[in-house]
Structure 1
């Protein structure tokens, strides 16, 4: 079978691309990402796992807003080094698909709440224009544009940003479903053990498929092709991380079933499974909250009780509750990019471990395989994992797209 030729924009550490590779139906020609840490990890993954001999060349660390240079090549010794560019990597054959999605912070509701200007002045509002330029340049049969559901309500200017995006894709020759509320996908439906919803916009090239067929394809993609890969039962935290070695926070030791467990001892069989340092105060709070759940007292399960506990323990007040213990028998709460700052809303459910999630636990809840070994500081690794598309969902998405192209391709 001839593989579908694809490129990945705003690739991060490659969660979306990893799922497409896992499907076995795609050949990645290039990936574009501007941050150094994710590029380093992506090159290693492409080389070690997916056996691309030219991994160093095909991962382009570059600012996608400099699109002409991105296409033709650049020499930028100060920041980005040099490359022959996308044109050289893609070659003369047609590109089948472009995947990726601009950073979501400008569109997220939480981001708008935190920013005093509601993110209206954030340059990331318009990074979709760079994505569009690449689509217009290479004219793939189809593109996949991933982002947060908040993009449907974001309005940095006079018009909702989604209207501008839909209009721009239409003018570029691509059909996008008019009612994109149908494109909001709950990843727990596809086996991801984490409450995560994203909008998955599939754009179909009208000149290639024909306008009427594009309408039919778009409707069927969301009602038939993608739902075909739903799981029958949601996956739990216990299933995802329950078998990992038990740890105690950095700087502390604890008896667990007669054996000493410690952060300071590496876990060679599970890379990236290293606990963070926690203060004595946080350890006491974590023990209190996890034992409260384990014993069934449930004294601290309401938002108001958690806010009161925060005030009692710290002397501070907060409009939002700072603590959350993930539950063994449910999917976890969202794994965010800012998990690197603190993990108070991602407390491990075992009262004897009294800690927040490790990098490996965050990666598993994002469905990265254990053979994806993350390289970098905690800041880099938690951030890139939180920003990623879960590879398990990406694999099912890739399968659905391949099915669609097989049935409707010329």
Structure 2
């Protein structure tokens, strides 16, 4: 297997994509030997996923893992199982909670050097560096919020990419994959474009080390590429989200001549409906909590419906007898599809016997009415409504609302059923205004699991920490299914490395189209269909029949 080092790993989106290549044929191509992440909870998520990956490669995933993510086993109970305890010790030696930067360079280098020494039989063997330096300083939203901040250009996050480049120069990976937000292309610092600074710094690596910089979407020579040629639009590659990211792939010059170019192949579009419609229907919670009962919530929904009627929008109510709960960390009532799509094959894992992290958060009553109203309007308009589409009674009580120069007209955003979602970002941890569920009868924002599905995380991927921390991790991640496609092309560039199985002899589904071949089931083997079930009516059920 080709060793991988993951910097600024987040909860492991890039890592998941690389690790999954070849696993469906029990011949994994890549093996992550060191990961670095500063956030405590993302680090815990990486550790848990590292345990999962080892269990998967050693055989079937034991029920103890599913019992833990369902909440029927505590962490103490799960981690004390001898097999799990041994794997946790292994993973903890490879997944490091470290804030990368000048202060930790000595420790970081020591850990990388040790990991590579153990993984490489020869210093000339191939290995890959992946990662995405923190992007808040480059994002358009982040920059707009700090336009009057005199210290913004001094923010160290502007220059964390240099730590990434320093490690490239120190360890000379065969290939590196560097991810960042599209705003990187327009971001400036002290009058210089940050993207150009990165390319310039790549020509000044330690020891004169050189890389050929390649695009994953345009098959041109490095010198003829434009900045926009490095932008990957995730929705063009089977991800149910319009997420546009800059991906730089660097191939070491001494390998470039024998390393074929490889660009991503466009995939069929996957919509919000394709990704989340099959999840159990739940309702929002109400904040501040006075009466969070079904009857009280139904009264709020009735008021919302009245406003919809008054505006002349047609009401479409599928089932008035359905009583919804606010969801739970684990729900048993989940009916698996009889004929899963290719995306569902990637996402689903019947062994979960339900769905995790599918719990609605609480919203103010007025916001609930806005969410439901706007979702109905979205169905009518077949576009995302703006503040101007709200009746006066639902307009936010801000001085500038309703005027010609009203800012942020899209401050409430419905995710439309028939198109990919808008970009899921870490701000989803703060409020749900940009992530309104398209079903007006649920009158809520997206759950962690729904956001994770839009990011292409498999259902058996479990995020540690509080719900807020889980949202933040999901929003900061690289979509694993997109990372998988990038990883396949990286494997082709390497020919799987000297002495390894040639790329053109790989079994179907290992390298090439993620969706080709009936044997390709993604990171979780999908059992015969259908999986379950009659909906339950216990405490973990999402719905019962209204009396």
State the match for 2:359 in structure 1: 274
List aligned pairs for 1:225-264, cutoff 5 A: 225-228=262-265, 230-231=266-267, 233-250=268-285, 251-253=292-294, 257-263=320-326
* Alpha-carbon distance in 2 for matches of 1:297, 1:9: 43
CA deviation after TM superposition for structure 1 residue 381, in Å: 0.6
Partner residue, 2:472: 383
Which residue in 1 is equivalent to 2:167? 134
Give the 5 Å matches for 1:1-400. Answer: 3-24=1-22, 25-51=29-55, 53=87, 54-65=90-101, 66-72=104-110, 85-91=111-117, 93=120, 94=123, 96-115=127-146, 116-117=148-149, 119-172=152-205, 173-176=210-213, 177-178=222-223, 179-206=226-253, 208-209=254-255, 213=257, 221=261, 225-228=262-265, 230-231=266-267, 233-250=268-285, 251-253=292-294, 257-263=320-326, 265=328, 266-268=330-332, 269-294=354-379, 296=380, 301=384, 303=386, 305-306=388-389, 312-317=395-400, 319-321=407-409, 322-400=411-489
Contact kept, 8 Å, 1:4 with 1:26, in 2: the verdict is yes
Cα distance in 1 between the residues matched to 2:181 and 2:376? 34
| TM-fit CA distance, 1:193 | 0.2
Give, in angstroms, the shift of residue 170 of structure 1. Answer: 2.0
User: How far, CA to CA, are the matches of 1:406 and 1:336 in structure 2?
Assistant: 35
Give the TM-score, by structure 2 length. 0.66
Give the drift of 1:27: 0.7
Deviations 1:25-73 (CA, angstroms, capped at 9, x unpaired): 101101001110000000000102343831111111112112112123x
Aligned residues: 382
Q: Is the 8 A contact 2:8 2:133 kept in 1?
A: yes
Runs of 4+ in 1 over 4 A off after TM superposition: 254-257, 306-311, 407-410
Structure 1 CA distance for aligned equivalents of residues 112 and 496 of structure 2: 29
User: 2-side partners of 1:303 and 1:293: how far apart?
Assistant: 10
Distance 1:297 1:363, change over 3 A: closer
Query: How far apart, in 2, do the equivalents of 1:62 and 1:283 lie?
Result: 40
Name the SS of the counterpart of 1:314 in structure 2: coil
TM-score w.r.t. length of structure 1: 0.87
Cα distance, 1:197–1:50 mapped onto 2, change above 3 Å: farther
User: How far, CA to CA, are the matches of 1:29 and 1:283 in structure 2?
Assistant: 46
1:307 CA displacement: 7.7
CA deviation after TM superposition for structure 1 residue 364, in Å: 0.2
Q: Is the 8 A contact 1:21 1:50 kept in 2?
A: no
Q: Secondary structure of the equivalent of 1:271?
A: strand
The 8 Å contact of residues 249 and 277 in structure 1, kept in 2 or not, is answered as yes
Q: Indicate the RMSD between aligned Cα atoms, in angstroms.
A: 2.4
CA offset at residue 301 of structure 1? 4.8
Q: Using the alignment, how far apart are the partners of 1:264 and 1:144 within structure 2?
A: 38
SS of residue matched to 1:339: helix
Where in structure 2 are there 5+ consecutive unaligned residues?
23-28, 58-86, 214-221, 286-291, 299-318, 333-353, 401-405, 500-547
Q: Which residue of 2 aligns with 1:76?
A: none
Choose 1 or 2 for highest CA Rg.
2
Cα drift, residue 101 of structure 1: 1.2
Shift of 1:120: 1.5
Q: For residues 248 and 104 of structure 1, do their structure 2 counterparts lie closer, same or farther at Cα, with a shift above 3 Å needed?
A: same
